[in-house]
């Protein structure tokens, strides 16, 4: 009886999570908690420059949402987003084009299958050995932004190979730039964080995604103290 009850509530919770993320998606909100959205908006609007440059590993609704936000504030910007799924890139590109943001936001595709489709991966062991970047496209996905010759003011890490991206981000971060790690509650992302001079975790509330509820954190790091 106890097991049936537990299963029943488990299913209910999964359905609620799916429903919540569907509503988020229909409202065009990023796959982030409201606190995370607020923090990123605050970071974006805190840069007092003629033009701000943003890099994002792992685009989606966030790309469109924050680009529209910057435009609504009249802030000039250049947004580069790195993607590994062609199908997802096409979805995001279409939304950007529909909103006349194709010239402000550039999507760069380096196609490879995500880790969860690789043989040997399972939920119980989210960080197995031998899952580092091996193919050319996997390596280019990480290193391509360095070849653009741009120093980025804001770098958002929210997709594949997060540890490698966090290491790479240091090379292309403007001196006063800020790095944001999404899903920072996951300990296996933490090893590169100490190499940043400043960094702080923020509790960012519950995220409902793919039928799962997670208690999220976001990490903000920089080379300079922003106070
Ligand atoms: C966690 S998502 C990034 C979400 C984005 N930053 C946002 O807040 O909307 C990271 C990656 O998941 C993959 N992804 C997310 N939704 C997908 C979908 N519906 N189909 C295929 N790939 C998807 C994409 O490859 C993307 O780079």
Q: Is residue 227 part of a domain?
A: no
- The reported pLDDT for the residue numbered 12 is 64
* Tens-digit pLDDT profile for residues 135-157: 999 999 999 999 999 999 999 99
Band (pLDDT 50/70/90 cuts) for residue 17 is: low
Testing ligand 1's pocket by substitution, the residue of 60, 69, 137 carrying the most ligand atoms inside 8 A of its CB is: 60
- The reported pLDDT for the residue numbered 123 is 73
42: left (phi over 0), alpha (psi -120 to 50) or beta: alpha
Q: Is residue 108 part of a domain?
A: yes
- The reported pLDDT for the residue numbered 128 is 78
Backbone angles phi, psi at 20, to 5 degrees: -60, -45
Count CB neighbours of 8 within 10 A: 10
* Tens-digit pLDDT profile for residues 201-210: 999 999 988 7
What CATH number has the domain bearing residue 9? Answer: 3.40.50.150
- How far is the centre of ligand 1, averaged over its atoms, from the C-alpha of 50 (Å)? 30
- The reported pLDDT for the residue numbered 130 is 76
Q: Determine the length of the chain.
A: 227
Distance (Å, whole) CA 19 – CA 62: 19
Alpha-carbon separation of residue 162 from 23, 133, 168, 189 (angstroms): 27, 11, 10, 7
Tell me which residue has its CA closest to atom 19 in ligand 1: 88
- Does the predicted model carry a pTM greater than 0.85? yes
Query: Which residue range forms the structural domain that includes residue 149?
Result: 2-222
Q: Is residue 7 part of a domain?
A: yes
Q: What total of structural domains would you count in the chain?
A: 1
Distance (Å, whole) CA 179 – CA 145: 14
- How far is the centre of ligand 1, averaged over its atoms, from the C-alpha of 58 (Å)? 6
Over 70: is that where the pLDDT of 16 sits? no
Distance (Å, whole) CA 214 – CA 192: 22
State what percent of residues in the chain have pLDDT above 70: 92
């Amino acid at each position: 009886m106890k097991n049936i009850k537990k299963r029943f509530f488990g299913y209910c919770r999964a359905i609620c999570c799916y429903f919540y993320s569907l509503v988020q998606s229909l409202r065009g909100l990023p796959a982030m908690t409201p606190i995370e959205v607020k923090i990123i908006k605050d970071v974006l609007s805190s840069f007092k420059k003629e033009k701000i440059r943003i890099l994002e590993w792992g685009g989606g609704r966030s790309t469109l949402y924050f680009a529209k936000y910057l435009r609504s504030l009249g802030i000039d910007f250049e947004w580069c987003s790195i993607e590994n799924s062609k199908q997802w890139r096409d979805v995001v590109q279409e939304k950007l084009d529909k909103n006349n943001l194709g010239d402000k936001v550039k999507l760069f595709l380096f196609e490879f299958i995500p880790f969860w489709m690789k043989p040997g991966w399972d939920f119980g062991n989210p960080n197995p050995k031998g899952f580092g970047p091996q193919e050319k496209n996997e390596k280019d996905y990480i290193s391509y932004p360095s070849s653009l010759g741009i120093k980025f003011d804001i770098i958002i890490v929210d997709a594949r190979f997060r540890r490698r991206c966090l290491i790479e981000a240091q090379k292309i971060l403007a001196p006063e730039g800020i790095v944001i790690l999404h899903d920072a509650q996951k300990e296996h992302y933490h090893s590169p964080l100490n190499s940043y001079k400043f960094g702080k975790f923020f509790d960012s509330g519950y995220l409902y995604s793919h039928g799962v509820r997670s208690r999220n954190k976001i990490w903000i790091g920089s080379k300079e103290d922003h106070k």
